[in-house]
Amino acid sequence: MKDVLDRLVELQKLDQQLHQLKALRGDLPNQVQMLQQDVNQAKKNLQDQKDKLQTYRKEKDMLELEIKDLESKQKKYHDQLYQVKNNREYDAVSMEIENVKETISNKETRIIELITLDEDLEKSIQSTQNEVQEIQGQLDQKENDLKKRLGQTEVEEKKLQTERSKIASDLPPRIVSMYQRIFNAKNKIAVVPVLGHGVCGGCFKNLPPQRVLEIREMKRMNLCEVCGRILVWDEEAADKKP
């Protein structure tokens, strides 16, 4: 059992180093992901606005063509006006002219509306384009930072991972999973030495003298009854005041 406990101490040292390397990367991977989402959303907005602009412009082109047609129709009616034979025909043609005028006027009103919409949308597209650029800039920088940090830690991390696997594979799986559970639950400290005056090195509560003797023998697994951590004996630590 002493052998197992010694290896657990080793395992914990490696896990703590690995944890520090991960902490060094900090929130960067998360930030990169969020910015990626933001940039995608902004790009989608931009595309939607550009599509809308196209439909406005198509509508305007169509209206202009229609107006041209109506104007030539109008001209024809005017010519007809000189050829009418009676008042009834005159009224009929005049009414056609009025109708065409009104239709043209309606279409012109819509064109003016479309011009305003077009101008507003152009402005909005410009600002969305700026937004995309700005977020993209932030994203590029964060990605760069992350790449640099990963580069710094990658080799070290691989080395530690290899050592860790070696030690873990020599330990009973049941003990490794118990250790892992405590490590994750107890602030990355699963194995603690007994400190001076028989105090738990994890929670600093007093241990019964009988337990301290047992732990010192390292013949079986001893867990702190207060914090649940694995207790080991270490001469140097036992001299230390808590």
- Per CB under 5 A, residues contacting Zn ion are 200, 202-203, 224, 226-227
Tokens of 16: 């703590």
Range 67-86 burial, b when 16+ CB lie within 10 A, else e: beebeebbeebeeeeeeeee
**CB of 205 vs Zn ion, minimal distance in Å:** 6
**CB of 213 vs Zn ion, minimal distance in Å:** 17
**CB of 224 vs Zn ion, minimal distance in Å:** 3
In 10 A of CB 39, how many CB atoms?
20
Cβ-based nearer residue to Zn ion, 104 or 224? 224
In 10 A of CB 160, how many CB atoms?
19
Cβ-based nearer residue to Zn ion, 42 or 199? 199
Contact at 8 Å (CB) between 7 and 176? no
Cβ-based nearer residue to Zn ion, 132 or 200? 200
> How many Å apart are CA 240 and CA 235, to the nearest integer?
9
Cβ-based nearer residue to Zn ion, 104 or 195? 195
Residue nearest to Zn ion as judged by C-beta position: 224
**CB of 141 vs Zn ion, minimal distance in Å:** 44
